[in-house]
Amino acid sequence: MRKLFFALLALALIMTGCATGAAPQKQPVAAQDQKLSPAMDPSVPKLCALTFDDGPDAVKTPKVLDRLQKYNVPATFFLVGMNVNDRTKAVMERQVALGCEFGNHTWTYNDMAKMTAEQVKASVDKTDAAIKKYTGQTPKFFRAPNLSASKTMYETINKPFCEGVLAFDWDQKTTAESRAKAVLNGVSDGAIILMHDVQPDPHPTPEALDIIIPELKKRGYTFVTLSELFKQKGVDPNSKKNAMWKVVK
């Protein structure tokens, strides 16, 4: 009798669970159903601007241009005025043909933070004139050598100052992979990426671009010039005073 009682009790509990519906066990979320962060989700439109300093150079700059042409992306080149001449004319013509634009990186690359207002203005104006002569463009943006800026420079140079996500590619010890990693870890929507087309050898920045560009495209990024970056973001580049742009939001 006792056994029958417990058997009936067990049956009743089973029937009650069926009637009320036992809580379903949680199933693991499939990898494809997991939400990606906005930085990794290719369905979220994102913009970035590649920028390169210290050129032009008749030998080194074309290696960067080869990658831009290969992946069909533009860039903004901050030129050193004394490098803008007949020897590099063909390089600049190719940059224009690829849809690139130009920024001002001073005439000699000397530290301007210790210069007078007159010296600063002369360096910037001379560089602007050379770039205009060979490319037809007047630079809209300025990048200070070594990102060293002063109050005098901000008051004298009538252009937006730009820095960017650093690839650390001035360091000859860094590899293409480490340069790419620095960029990919630091990039976000609206980022300005700061690299160099001209530095002492070994200089594997062109090889780093073979990693950076495909990966950022995979993440949903579109590459644009600096002017286009500000335009598409609806941001006035002159709205930031006494500071440098790194990300356009």
Buried b (16+ CB within 10 A) or exposed e, 69-97: eeeebbbbbbbbbebbeeebeebbebbee
The CB-side HSE value for 103 (13 A sphere, CA atoms) comes to: 27
SS3 (DSSP) at 52: strand
Contact 220, 45 (CB under 8 A): yes
In 3D, which of 77, 74, 48, 65 has the Cα closest to residue 139? Answer: 77
- DSSP state letter for 44: S
C-alpha to C-alpha distance for 207 and 65, rounded to whole angstroms: 12
Indicate the helix (H) or strand (E) that contains 194. Answer: strand 191-196
53 annotated active-site: yes
Of 53, 57, 128, 169, which one is the catalytic site residue? 53
Catalytic residue among 57, 169, 196, 197: 196
DSSP state at residue 237 = G
**Residue 105 appears among annotated catalytic residues:** no
| Burial class of residue 209 in the structure, from the number of CB atoms within 10 Å of its CB (0-12 exposed, 13-18 middle, 19+ buried) | buried
Residues recognised as catalytic: 53, 196
